Amino acid sequence: MKIIVTDSYDEMSKAAAEIFEKEIRQDSKIVLGLATGSTPIGTYEELVRKYKEEKLDFSGVTTFNLDEYVGLDVKDPNSYRFFMEEHLFNHVNTNNENTHVPDGMTVNPDEYGEKYDKMIEAAGGIRIQLLGIGSNGHIAFNEPDEELPVGTGLVNLTIQTIEDNARFFKSKEQVPTQAISMGMGSIMKAKKIVILASGEGKAEIIKKLLERGKVSTRIPATFLLLHPDVTLVCDRKAYSLVGR
């Protein structure tokens, strides 16, 4: 795993956006895997700036997001489709038809998940995937468990994730308990992966990820240790416990 440690959240965001910019400029029809959560917001801001000030063109880009809450429709401000529109799609020239976020209102999430994976394949596969990491080591909504799903489908959220994400909702009770998430296999098929981590709250999990030298379904992010092209971009606070 390649590791880039930056002095601040802003520097982390710039470093990540630069990696994406390079890929987009190399292939105007690139397929991107995108993530939600508070960590990638700065990366999206920087990509929007590059679109506005440096002519970074998204018109041919196809995107697939990692996950969506079950039961939230696209107009719900807490839905990940809404998030993506607010932070990226509404501010760059992506073509709406080419931006994909799993449908949280689908009646059969597992069947839908299979279709989602096939759509990714049909688009040529994900060239570069952006990831955050949960404080419990989840990537997308693949939560620590005895087994992890390979393909995209329905997942149950852990209490910890519900508590971590309650800050976006009026109360903990309003956080959906299920999601449709890209599976571990779907994520691992991306040619290149960039995982972000910022702040002290991620220091423990980054230490575990980098120091154990083992994969565990109890720390889903450790599967990234098996991938040939992963870059961790994190700030000093998230990296602060490594080696201690």
Positions in the binding site for ligand PGA (CB under 6 A): 37-39, 132-134
Which CB atom, from 30 or from 133, has the smaller least distance to ligand PGA?
133
87 catalytic residue (yes or no): no
Minimum CB separation of residue 132 from ligand PGA in Å reads: 3
Whose structure tokens read 């799609």?
89
143 catalytic residue (yes or no): yes
Minimum CB separation of residue 152 from ligand PGA in Å reads: 16
Distance between CA atoms of residues 231 and 191, nearest Å: 12
Nearest-CB residue to ligand PGA? 37
Cβ proximity of 22 and 33 under 8 Å: no
Annotated catalytic residue, options 136, 164, 165, 235: 136
Annotated catalytic residue, options 46, 103, 117, 143: 143
Minimum CB separation of residue 27 from ligand PGA in Å reads: 26
Annotated catalytic residue, options 65, 98, 138, 142: 138
Cβ proximity of 199 and 233 under 8 Å: no
Annotated catalytic residue, options 46, 67, 103, 164: 67
Which CB atom, from 38 or from 217, has the smaller least distance to ligand PGA?
38
Which CB atom, from 132 or from 176, has the smaller least distance to ligand PGA?
132
Which CB atom, from 80 or from 98, has the smaller least distance to ligand PGA?
80
Which amino acid, residue 93?
A: N
> CA dist 155 to 148, 149, 187, Å?
10, 9, 15
142 catalytic residue (yes or no): no
**Cβ neighbours of residue 146 closer than 8 Å, sequence gap 6 or more:** 217
Minimum CB separation of residue 110 from ligand PGA in Å reads: 22
Which CB atom, from 111 or from 163, has the smaller least distance to ligand PGA?
163
Distance between CA atoms of residues 186 and 116, nearest Å: 10
Supply the residues annotated as catalytic: 67, 136, 138, 143
